[in-house]
């Protein structure tokens, strides 16, 4: 039986990937130490997800390990020598990173290096799939010519009609400290692929979401927005008239692409992994979509100041992914994804 190692296994993507690979017959080893609760407080706690994996997946094994523990990471990879590594563990908030710069960099950059070097030493031929972020592009997308529509911003430059491609520059832009630490990890993953010939890839995610997301104000906009709606809490809009656009991709479609890469890996690749324009929405548009499923009006306030480095409009160009892996495509529409998240939160908060 093949073995896969998944870091951040209690998080949204990690747990989805764990379930997906387990369904394909893998023994799954998950690494998680509930650091999300440390970063975001009780609302970020993912122990419920860990317990779900342990109880539902008979060939799942949990490892309580911090990715900053270099020797611990080396020892675990040496022991398991997995046939694949999926690295989803991270400090995921660009707002929070400014307050915890050392924790952020040590987790996102050094933790990634720890895992890469362990892989090189003990299972160099195993595909290494790294969850990066579209924040590696910094605020450069904001300098694309835009047009303002009734409920959203969109690209006015026809060169970006399909979204942001992987050839877009990551240089000479404001990233946030989170974006910078993720750039460091991203580049190292590429370099281990190109320099050592290892099968690695970086998935530069847009808004990754789904029913198992523990969304909080600083990370997980769609899940958090839906939670606010159901609980009657105020959702704060930070600048751009609430017309800022994100593309949303269901965690199951993320897992499907990761499995496709695992089956046919390449060395040092980069993919912009998002929902594409078809699954994009602004905050204002998200309000309307969510209200249709909950029947509740979205309570919100507006702050003129946008978040530092925040994108005005971002959606992923999926053409490279589809060209390399033509059997993969988006299967979950945005309304379907929202409906699933609504149902999940209704169960968790017992609305």
Distance between CA atoms of residues 240 and 306, nearest Å: 7
The whole-number average pLDDT for the span 282-300 is 97
Q: What is the pTM of this model?
A: 0.95
CA-nearest of 256, 116, 132 to 198 is 116
What are 35-82's pLDDT values in tens digits?
888 888 888 889 989 999 999 999 999 999 999 999 999 999 999 999
What are 17-40's pLDDT values in tens digits?
999 999 999 999 999 999 888 888
Q: Decide if pLDDT at 205 tops 80.
A: yes
Residue tagged 């950059």 (tokens): 109
Q: Decide if pLDDT at 1 tops 90.
A: no
What's the pLDDT band for 159 if we cut at 50, 70, 90?
very high
Q: Where are the alpha helices (DSSP H) in 66-105?
A: 70-80, 94-97, 101-105
Residue 125 burial by Cβ neighbours in a 10 Å radius (0-12, 13-18, 19+): exposed
What's the pLDDT band for 220 if we cut at 50, 70, 90?
confident
CB 162 within 8 A of CB 316: no
The structural domains of the chain, with segments of one domain joined by +, span: 3-349
Residue 188 burial by Cβ neighbours in a 10 Å radius (0-12, 13-18, 19+): buried
pLDDT-wise least confident of 58-72, 89-103, 179-193, 279-293:
89-103
User: What integer best gives the mean pLDDT of the chain?
Assistant: 95
Q: Which CATH number fits domain 3-349: 3.30.390.30, 3.40.50.300, 3.40.50.720, 3.40.50.360?
A: 3.40.50.720
pLDDT-wise least confident of 24-28, 95-99, 227-231, 325-329:
95-99
């Amino acid at each position: 039986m093949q073995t896969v190692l998944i870091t951040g296994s209690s998080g949204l993507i990690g747990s989805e990937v764990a379930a997906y690979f387990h369904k394909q017959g893998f023994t799954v080893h998950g690494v998680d130490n509930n650091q999300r609760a440390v970063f975001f407080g009780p609302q970020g706690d993912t122990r419920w997800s860990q317990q779900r994996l342990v109880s539902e997946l008979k060939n799942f094994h949990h490892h309580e390990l911090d990715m900053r523990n270099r020797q611990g990471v080396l020892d675990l990879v040496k022991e398991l020598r997995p046939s694949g590594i999926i690295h989803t563990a991270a400090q995921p908030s660009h707002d929070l990173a400014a307050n915890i710069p050392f924790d952020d960099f040590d987790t996102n950059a050094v933790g990634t290096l720890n895992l890469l070097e362990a892989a090189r030493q003990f299972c160099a031929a195993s595909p290494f799939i790294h969850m990066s972020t579209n924040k590696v592009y910094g605020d450069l997308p904001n300098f694309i010519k835009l047009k303002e529509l009734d409920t959203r911003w969109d690209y006015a430059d026809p060169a970006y009609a399909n979204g942001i491609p992987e050839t877009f520059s990551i240089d000479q832009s404001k990233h946030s400290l989170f974006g910078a630490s993720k750039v460091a990890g991203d580049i190292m993953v590429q370099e281990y692929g190109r320099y050592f010939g290892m099968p690695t890839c970086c998935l530069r995610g847009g808004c990754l979401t789904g029913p198992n997301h523990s969304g909080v104000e600083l990370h997980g906009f769609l899940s958090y927005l839906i939670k606010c709606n159901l609980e009657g809490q105020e959702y704060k809009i930070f600048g751009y008239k609430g017309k800022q656009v994100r593309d949303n991709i269901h965690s199951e479609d993320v897992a499907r692409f990761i499995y496709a890469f695992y089956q046919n890996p390449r060395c040092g690749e980069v993919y912009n992994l998002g929902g594409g324009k078809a699954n994009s929405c602004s905050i204002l548009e998200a309000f309307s979509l969510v209200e249709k499923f909950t029947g509740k009006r979205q309570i919100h306030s507006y702050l003129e100041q946008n978040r530092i480095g925040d994108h005005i409009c971002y959606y992923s160009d999926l053409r490279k992914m589809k060209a390399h892996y033509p059997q993969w495509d988006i299967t979950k529409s945005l309304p379907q994804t929202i409906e699933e998240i609504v149902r999940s939160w209704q169960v968790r908060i017992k609305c």
